[in-house]
Amino acid sequence: MKDRREFIIRKSMELYALNGYQNVSITDLQIALDMGRGTLYYYFKDQDELFLTCMETYFLTPKHRVLQSIPETVGIADMIEAMMRYLGTLEEALMSFDNKSINTSNVNGLMFSACSKFPSFSRRAKRLAIKEQDLWRKAILNDQRTGRARRGIDVEQIALIFAHVKNSYDSALGMGQMNFQLLRKTYTELHKLIKNE
């Protein structure tokens, strides 16, 4: 039963990523999943619940888990590793799809749809974003206390920049697919700028 539910979530997410939430009907889902409407409704009460479950499974739950695992004493280097773990779950998910043309630009559009249509999802996503920024702030302050980061920097601004590194690629410049190695390099270079050397 659990495997069937997971299959529905994975295949549905793939279909949403390919076509956008607004362009996927129940009939499209039935065809992609090769199952009747009754079976689909056995697992999910409606398409909204299915879509929200997909979005929570692929975005909110992994981010929540990673952020919850970060101790209050975190430093910048450990925070970078934690965020790369979170991004690694996204990369693994993209690689698990049958259609290999799906990339991060596809799923970013889904985040916009979910936040626009479902206020409760938007609130949860916002809470996680605030938590992430707060952890970056703590990491910088912890590194300042231990002498690993320079003093006299604008901690709030640097925390904000760290929190937005993963959003910095620009699909208009042909970088629709998030380059995970480039993200690590960007985090590392930013870290070097504020290191106390």
Asked whether residue 107 carries a pLDDT value surpassing 90, the answer given is no
Q: What is the DSSP letter of 149?
A: B
Asked whether residue 179 carries a pLDDT value surpassing 80, the answer given is no
Q: What percent of the chain has pLDDT over 90?
A: 74
DSSP-assigned letters across all residues of 64-122? HHHHHHS-TT--HHHHHHHHHHHHHHHHHHHHHSS-TT--HHHHHHHHHHHHHH-HHHH
- Compute the mean pLDDT over every residue in the chain, rounded to the nearest whole number: 90
Q: What is the pTM of this model?
A: 0.89
**pLDDT tens track for 120-163:** 999 999 999 999 999 999 999 999 999 999 999 999 999 999 99
Total Cβ atoms within 10 A of residue 116? 11
pLDDT value, residue 176:
54
